[in-house]
Chain A
Amino acid sequence: EVQLLESGGGLVQPGGSLRLSCAASGFTFSSYVMTWVRQAPGMGLEWVSGISGSDHNTYYSDSVKGRFTISRDNSKNTVYLEMNSLRVEDTAIYYCANEVRLDHWGQGTLVTVSS
């Protein structure tokens, strides 16, 4: 059974930093693209970032490019999202999902950016 478990969310002031983690199990992690998607309160889904399985190519939405960094550790079956220079508008539930077609999702972790 595929499982994705996010952690690392919390309350942070504008301009601050957080690192999210997503621990994966139940599939061959290194073979899969991993994706971060977020959902602001009461809003729709927004793709944030993705990373390929073996060559670690990375992709970012314009809204986070230059502030967020995605990475992965295939030995730990974990993908990370380093978030810097956080803004109020980054407040959202952050989900990780596998592949670009997002077959499986974690339960999400809440990031709140507020002073």
Chain B
Amino acid sequence: DIQMTQSPSSLSASVGDRVTITCRASQGINSFLAWFQQKPGKAPKSLIYEASNLQSGVPSKFSGSGSGTHFTLTISSLQPEDFATYYCQQYNFYPLTFGGGTKVEIK
């Protein structure tokens, strides 16, 4: 199975900060990587697919990059509504696997 390692597991940031979350795959997954945002008590929401493609309706302050084994999610200017937990997921191989999550908290 492919292991997905996210870092950091949590971070504290201020409104307006630029935030970067990293996801590493234990083997190459091409660009078959998605990012999700989850707020407490809510279902996850897809932000990015195929490493860098923004889902419809997702603001452009979110961006993704990478291929192979190293991927990043960047939020260009953190806003109050962005405080949440973020997950990466590979879909190149079954079993589909998720990173452990990054909780973004207010500093």
Q: Hey, which bits of chain A sit against chain B, CB under 8 A? A: 35, 44-47, 50, 59, 61-62, 95, 100-108
Given known contacts A44-B101, A95-B44, A105-B43, is B95 in contact with A100 (CB within 8 Å)? no
Is the beta-carbon distance between A103 and B96 smaller than 8 angstroms?
no
Selected from B44, B94, B99, the residue in CB contact (under 8 A) with A105 is B44
Main secondary structure of the interface of B (DSSP, over half): loop
CA distance A47 to B94 in the complex (A): 10
Judge if B79 is at the interface, Cβ distance under 8 Å: no
Query: For chains A and B in complex, what number of residue pairs have CB atoms within 8 angstroms?
Result: 53
Nearest chain-A residue to B55 (Cβ)? A103
Q: A45-B87, A45-B98, A47-B96 are in contact. Are A101 and B45 (CB under 8 A)?
A: no
| Residue of A44, A46, A61, A103 contacting most chain B CB atoms (<10 Å) | A44
Q: A44-B87, A44-B101, A45-B89 are in contact. Are A100 and B96 (CB under 8 A)?
A: yes
* Range class of the B interface residue count: 20 to 34
Question: Which residues of B does A touch, CB under 8 Å?
Answer: 32, 34, 36, 38, 43-46, 49-50, 55, 87, 89, 91, 94-101
**Shortest beta-carbon distance, B63 to chain A, in Å?**
17
In the assembled complex, which residues on chain A have CB atoms less than 8 Å from the CB atom of B89?
Answer: 45, 47, 101-102
> Which single residue of chain A is at the shortest CB-CB distance from B32?
A101
> Contact: A106 with B94, CB < 8 Å?
no
Residues of B within 8 A of A105 (CB): 43-46
Q: List 8 A-B contacts (CB under 8 A).
A: A44-B99, A44-B100, A45-B44, A45-B101, A101-B32, A102-B34, A102-B44, A103-B49
Docked Cα-Cα span, A104 to B55, in Å, equals 10
- Interchain CA distance A95-B38 in the complex, whole Å: 13
Q: How far is the CB of B51 from chain A (nearest CB, A)?
A: 11
Separation in Å of the A41 CB from the closest CB of chain B? 12
Q: Assuming A45-B44, A46-B98, A50-B94, what are 5 further A-B pairs, CB within 8 angstroms?
A: A44-B99, A59-B95, A101-B89, A105-B43, A107-B43
